[in-house]
Each structure stands twice: as structure tokens, then as C-alpha cells.
Amino acid sequence: MEQTSREIDVNNESKENQESDELPATNNELFKFLKFPAIKPDSPIPIQPFLDACRSLIDFVTILGPVFIPVRSDIGGNVDKLTKILNTDPSRFTTLNSIIESEIGLSSVKQIGTDALLWLTRALQYMNMFLSLLVDDYSSDHNGELSNDLTKHFTLAYDSTLRKHHNWIVQNVVHLSLKAAPSRNTIINLLSPEINSSAGIDKEKEKCLYQEMNDYRELVEININSIHQLYDRLSIEY
């Protein structure tokens, strides 16, 4: 799956006014995954850009290793379900909202798009919570020694999002498998190997990577909130 970057415009005229600790403008060269649509709160979500971003997220999940194969399969399967519905009438289904609204009144068995988006959103919440914990950890302690063990981050992200939707057997399996989750150094090296060199870690590139992660997860959060607002409006439990 092709990894796509999104360019960020740079206003050259404002460079002189930048504060000394401000990050240089980047075009997402380090966190190389397609961003989610930049929508306004409670706005309809354009379906094709959303699904494209979800497919790109699968690349990130793949980097995390075999422990996350179930998450990768879950995201991919639900993206495929929504894509199949989209392809039945592309001119009608231009937003996620249009798919969900078209299934109002149908039996739960026939609410394929509603169920697919529900589980897709839960998976997005899980991955986005992990990114939030990773970024917050770096931001609060990047002058000190950061823990290389991310088991607690993955576990807290799971407990805060997906756990309540799983039975106790699945919960125990997940908690056990997360003990084999990749380390911070492994993830950073796989995401952006150029950060490390024989001279050590490039601190500026590392800073940029975490900033790009933060920009990415903020857009994911906006899309998740918009989906939840749609479900609230239609009285759909999530």
C-alpha cells in the first residue's frame, strides 16, 4: 500500500517572526501516512478521503508487527465493507453520513455500513489513543530519559477504548499479547530510520516526527468526534 504525504504550505514572510522554539514547517516527511480529512466539527465526512486515510493507517498498524494483525484485519475488513457500499452508488454516497442515514429503519442485520463504521471508529480510537499517549509522553519528558517499553501505552489505550466491547477471554488474550508490543526505539526506527545515525539521534528530526504525529492524531480525533455526533443525532449507541 502506497504511503502518501501531504504538503503543508509555508509562509516565507512569517519566518522572521517565528519564535526560537517553533518547529520548522514540514511536509510530513517523517510520519508518512495520509492524513484524515480536515473537517469542521459536526460536518459531514467525505467518504473517499476518509477511507483512503484508513487504508494508509493500515500501513502504520503493519509496522507495529504481528501482535496487531487482528487490528489490521479489523480496519481493513470494515474499510472494504464501506467501500463496497460506496461502489453501489458513488453519486449518492459521497459522505459517511449518507451511508449511515440510508440505513435508518433497516433491521440490524442489514445495517452493514453502520456496524462497519462503528467498529472502524473503535479501532481508530484505539490507535489514536496510543499516539496521544506516545506524543504526550515525549512532550512532558523529552528532556529526560523516555521509557523504551511501550507496553503500558498500548495497554492503557486498549483499556480506554476497545476493552469494554470485548468479553473477558478476548481481554485476557489482548493483555497477554501486548507484552510483545514493539518498543519505542523500534517504532521510531521503522517510522523514520533517518532520525538515527552514527552520530546519535537527530533531535530536530525527532521533534518534527512527534509534531507530525500530533498533527495527525488531532485530525483523527476531529473525525471520530464527528462520527460520534452523527450517531448521537441518530440515537445510535457506540
The string of pLDDT tens digits covering residues 223-238 is: 999 999 999 999 999 9
- Domains present along the chain, CATH in parentheses: 40-233 (1.10.3520.10)
Q: What is the mean pLDDT of residues 51-76?
A: 96
Q: What is the mean pLDDT of residues 59-77?
A: 95
The string of pLDDT tens digits covering residues 125-138 is: 999 999 999 999 99
The number of residues making up the chain comes to 238
Determine the pLDDT at residue 202: 84
- Position with higher pLDDT, 144 vs 133: 133
What is the rounded average pLDDT for all residues in the chain?
86
What does residue 183 show for φ and ψ, rounded to 5 degrees? Answer: -80, 170
Cα–Cα distance measured from residue 189 to residue 198, given in angstroms and rounded to the nearest whole number: 13
Cα–Cα distance list, 32 to 6, 8, 53, 76, 132 (Å)? 9, 13, 11, 19, 17
Cα–Cα distance list, 124 to 51, 79, 107 (Å)? 12, 12, 26
- Position with higher pLDDT, 16 vs 36: 36
What is the reported pTM?
A: 0.83
